[in-house]
């Protein structure tokens, strides 16, 4: 069942045209899969009113089914302070291990853990240099060797050194390529034996689609891991692969890599993830809807031109929120707008609009340059967030939320805009 749903979702995420028809095709296929697996689509809810919206019902069933698939209800490892926690990364070359181990180290470091990195990739020339550069930038102590060629020895040396120096978290980066695949798996086992990690994390490239299933199964069989991190979820649709990896290994995803920057690591939330995945199909209809309401607004036109080009500035985001506020009751709109349902989840119409109004206060406290930016300026200078929170009478948390919402929308605009057909369509609509 999982496989069939995955492939239906994948067809959707792979299709060039994320339109109503593609979405309907997916729902049909999933509905058939559910029925053939004896899941009674109708038994999942109480007696139906006569005029039930079938699409909504199926959508909900699919949603719950997908959430169940990506949430194995296994508790991932939680490091404890005051004792060494050894974390080992495994995964194929290019998956994002070296990038992600610095991100994770930084994540723990900012939470008060004394954290260090060990480079046990002796296969690739330059691997140690790359880790060294990242670690230096993030001010994280590191260990590696330019002369020792046995990765298990380097790993053991590094871990022993940092244990002696009473580090809380020691992250071991490994190689991902060998002349032969067996050699790689043997090496992973040897390193595991040498450092006895408290946690092994599989790093998976989110753009590899269904290959995630066999890849994660192969690692599971040799270098047993207890958690997964999916990288590169910023550029492409990463849904199907992630779901397959979890389904094949019953191992929880703990983080998502959302960009090349050190800060681009997000905690994995099954519900939000699936919402985003399914919400994608509605981007085109959202564009149409917003367009209909803001037909004669020139700034709205600017925004659509931007989206068509794959650009989405903070000002574009402000424009969209303003349009949404003009559209009427939020309850009618959420579900159609992936970001919005995240934003106003659990709020009634009144609290929801209040939240949007507070967002407008935040936008209004930004400078013109900040509004026209892609938001990176806030990552580089977090003090700007404090200034804006003060100026708008909101909290830094709210400013952060708004910026992360913007990043998500910008990622979507990039995807949609990158597709030529979409671009043409958006232009025709202007
Ligand atoms: P490794 O071989 O597994 O150590 O992979 P690297 O950490 O060297 O990453 C390979 C490439 O993927 C690099 O160019 C990274 O910048 C890029 N990369 C890693 N994580 C992400 C991510 O979350 N998003 C994007 N866009 N690129 C990433
Ligand atoms: Mg590497």
CATH number of the CATH domain containing 399: 1.10.260.30
With a 6 A CB cut-off, is 96 part of the ligand 1 pocket?
A: yes
Tens of pLDDT along 40-64? Answer: 444 444 444 443 455 555 566 667 7
Q: State in Å: Cα 203 to ligand 2 middle.
A: 11
| Final residue of a structural domain among 216, 235, 268 | 268
User: What are the distances in angstroms from CA 378 to CA 68, 311, 356?
Assistant: 35, 18, 20
CATH number of 194's domain: 3.40.50.300
Q: 289 and 390: one domain?
A: yes
Please list, in sequence order, all residues whose beta carbon lies within 8 angstroms of the beta carbon of residue 171, skipping any fewer than 6 positions away.
87, 88, 89, 101, 104, 105, 115, 116, 117, 118
User: What local confidence, expressed as pLDDT, does residue 171 receive?
Assistant: 98
Q: State in Å: Cα 146 to ligand 2 middle.
A: 15
CATH number of 65's domain: 1.20.120.140
Long-range pairs, 305-308, Cβ under 8 A, ≥24: 305/426, 305/427, 305/430, 306/413, 306/417, 307/413, 307/416, 307/417, 307/426, 308/417, 308/422, 308/423, 308/426, 308/427
DSSP helix/strand/coil, 321? helix
With a 6 A CB cut-off, is 93 part of the ligand 1 pocket?
A: yes
User: What local confidence, expressed as pLDDT, does residue 42 receive?
Assistant: 44
Q: State in Å: Cα 40 to ligand 1 middle.
A: 42
d(CA 183, CA 187): 6
- Asked whether 291 and 302 are in contact (CB, 8 A), the reply is no
Q: Is residue 75 in a domain?
A: no
Q: Is residue 214 in a domain?
A: yes
With a 6 A CB cut-off, is 232 part of the ligand 1 pocket?
A: yes
Q: 141 and 258: one domain?
A: yes
| Final residue of a structural domain among 244, 268, 292 | 268
Q: Count of CB atoms within 10 A of residue 291's CB?
A: 18
With a 6 A CB cut-off, is 236 part of the ligand 1 pocket?
A: no
With a 6 A CB cut-off, is 259 part of the ligand 1 pocket?
A: yes
Q: 161 and 285: one domain?
A: no
pLDDT by residue, tens only, the chain of 430 residues: 556 666 666 665 555 555 556 666 766 666 666 555 544 444 444 444 443 455 555 566 667 777 877 887 777 788 998 899 999 999 999 999 999 999 999 999 988 999 999 999 998 888 999 999 999 999 999 999 999 999 999 999 999 999 999 999 999 999 988 777 888 999 999 999 999 999 999 999 988 877 888 889 999 998 889 999 999 987 655 566 777 788 788 899 999 998 999 889 988 888 777 776 665 444 444 444 444 444 445 565 666 667 667 778 888 888 877 777 766 666 555 555 555 666 666 677 777 788 888 999 999 999 999 999 999 889 888 899 999 999 999 999 999 989 988 888 788 777 766 554 444 554 454 4
Residue of 91, 99, 184, 188 to test ligand 1 pocket, by largest number of atoms within 8 Å of CB: 99
Phi, psi torsion values for 329, nearest 5 degrees: -55, 130
Q: Is residue 7 in a domain?
A: yes
Residue of 260, 261, 266, 414 to test ligand 1 pocket, by largest number of atoms within 8 Å of CB: 260
Q: 31 and 122: one domain?
A: no
Cα(first)–Cα(last) distance of the chain, in Å? Answer: 42
d(CA 284, CA 15): 13
DSSP helix/strand/coil, 179? coil
With a 6 A CB cut-off, is 206 part of the ligand 1 pocket?
A: no
Q: Which pTM was predicted?
A: 0.62
Tens of pLDDT along 242-284? Answer: 777 887 888 999 999 989 998 899 888 887 777 766 654 444 4
Phi, psi torsion values for 138, nearest 5 degrees: -90, 5
Q: 101 and 221: one domain?
A: yes
Residue of 90, 93, 96 to test ligand 1 pocket, by largest number of atoms within 8 Å of CB: 96
Q: Provide the residue range defining the domain that includes 54.
A: 2-70
Closest by CA position to 171, among listed 79, 249, 101, 243:
101
DSSP helix/strand/coil, 144? coil
Beta strands (DSSP E) in 3-148 are 85-90, 115-120, 142-143
DSSP helix/strand/coil, 59? helix
Q: 232 and 346: one domain?
A: no
CB neighbour class for 399 (10 Å; exposed up to 12, middle 13-18, buried from 19): buried
Q: 106 and 215: one domain?
A: yes
Identify the helix (H) or strand (E) that includes residue 159. helix 151-164
Q: 262 and 371: one domain?
A: no
Q: Is residue 80 in a domain?
A: no
The ipTM value here is 0.99
| Final residue of a structural domain among 41, 70, 99 | 70
Q: State in Å: Cα 124 to ligand 2 middle.
A: 8
DSSP 8-state assignment for residue 126: T
User: What local confidence, expressed as pLDDT, does residue 131 receive?
Assistant: 96
Q: 176 and 43: one domain?
A: no
d(CA 88, CA 154): 13
Identify the helix (H) or strand (E) that includes residue 12. helix 2-14
With a 6 A CB cut-off, is 72 part of the ligand 1 pocket?
A: no
Q: 21 and 93: one domain?
A: no
Q: State in Å: Cα 310 to ligand 1 middle.
A: 22
With a 6 A CB cut-off, is 121 part of the ligand 1 pocket?
A: no
Q: 206 and 291: one domain?
A: no
Q: Is residue 76 in a domain?
A: no
Q: Which residues pair with 174 in a beta bridge?
A: 120
Q: 132 and 190: one domain?
A: yes
Q: State in Å: Cα 39 to ligand 1 middle.
A: 39
Q: Is residue 77 in a domain?
A: no
Q: Is residue 96 in a domain?
A: yes
d(CA 111, CA 386): 19
Closest by CA position to 318, among listed 402, 414, 395:
402
Q: Total structural domains in the chain?
A: 3
Q: Is residue 389 in a domain?
A: yes
Q: Which residues pair with 85 in a beta bridge?
A: 169
């Amino acid at each position: 069942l999982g496989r069939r749903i995955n492939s239906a979702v994948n067809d959707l995420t792979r299709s060039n045209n994320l339109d109503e028809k593609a979405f309907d095709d997916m729902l049909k296929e999933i509905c058939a899969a559910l029925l053939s697996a004896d899941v009674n689509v109708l038994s999942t809810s109480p007696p139906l009113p006569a005029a039930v919206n079938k699409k909504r019902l199926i959508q909900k069933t699919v949603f719950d089914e997908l959430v169940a698939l990506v949430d194995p209800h296994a508790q991932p490892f939680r490091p404890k302070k005051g004792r060494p926690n050894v974390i080992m990364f495994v995964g194929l070359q290019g998956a994002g291990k070296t990038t992600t181990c610095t991100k994770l180290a930084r994540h723990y470091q900012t939470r008060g853990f004394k954290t260090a990195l060990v480079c046990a990739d002796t296969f690739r020339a330059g691997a140690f240099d790359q880790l060294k550069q990242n670690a230096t930038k993030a001010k994280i102590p590191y260990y590696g060797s330019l002369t020792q060629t046995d990765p298990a020895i380097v790993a053991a040396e590094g871990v022993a050194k940092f244990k002696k120096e009473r580090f809380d978290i020691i992250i071991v980066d490994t190689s991902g390529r060998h002349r032969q695949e067996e050699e790689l798996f043997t090496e992973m086992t040897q390193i595991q034996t040498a450092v006895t990690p408290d946690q092994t994390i599989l790093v998976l490239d989110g753009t590899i689609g269904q290959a995630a299933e066999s890849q994660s199964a192969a690692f599971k069989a040799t270098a047993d891991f207890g958690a997964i991190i999916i990288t590169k979820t910023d550029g492409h649709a990463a849904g199907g692969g992630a779901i397959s990896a979890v389904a094949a290994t019953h191992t929880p995803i703990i983080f998502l890599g959302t960009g090349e920057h050190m800060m681009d690591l997000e905690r994995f939330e099954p519900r939000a993830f699936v919402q985003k995945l399914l919400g994608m199909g509605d981007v085109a209809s959202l564009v149409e809807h917003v367009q209909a309401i803001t037909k004669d607004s020139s700034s709205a036109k600017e925004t659509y031109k931007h989206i068509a080009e794959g650009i989405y500035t903070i000002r574009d985001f402000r424009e969209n929120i303003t349009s949404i506020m003009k559209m009427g009751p939020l309850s009618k709109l959420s579900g159609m707008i992936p970001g919005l349902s995240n934003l106003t989840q659990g709020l009634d119409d009144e609290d929801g609009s209040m939240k949007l109004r507070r967002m407008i206060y935040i936008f209004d406290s930004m400078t013109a340059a900040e509004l026209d930016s892609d938001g990176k300026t806030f990552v580089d200078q977090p003090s700007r967030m404090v200034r804006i929170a003060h100026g708008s009478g909101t909290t830094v948390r709210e400013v952060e939320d708004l910026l992360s919402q913007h990043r998500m929308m910008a990622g979507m605009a990039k995807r949609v805009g990158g597709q030529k057909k979409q671009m043409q369509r958006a232009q025709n609509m202007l």
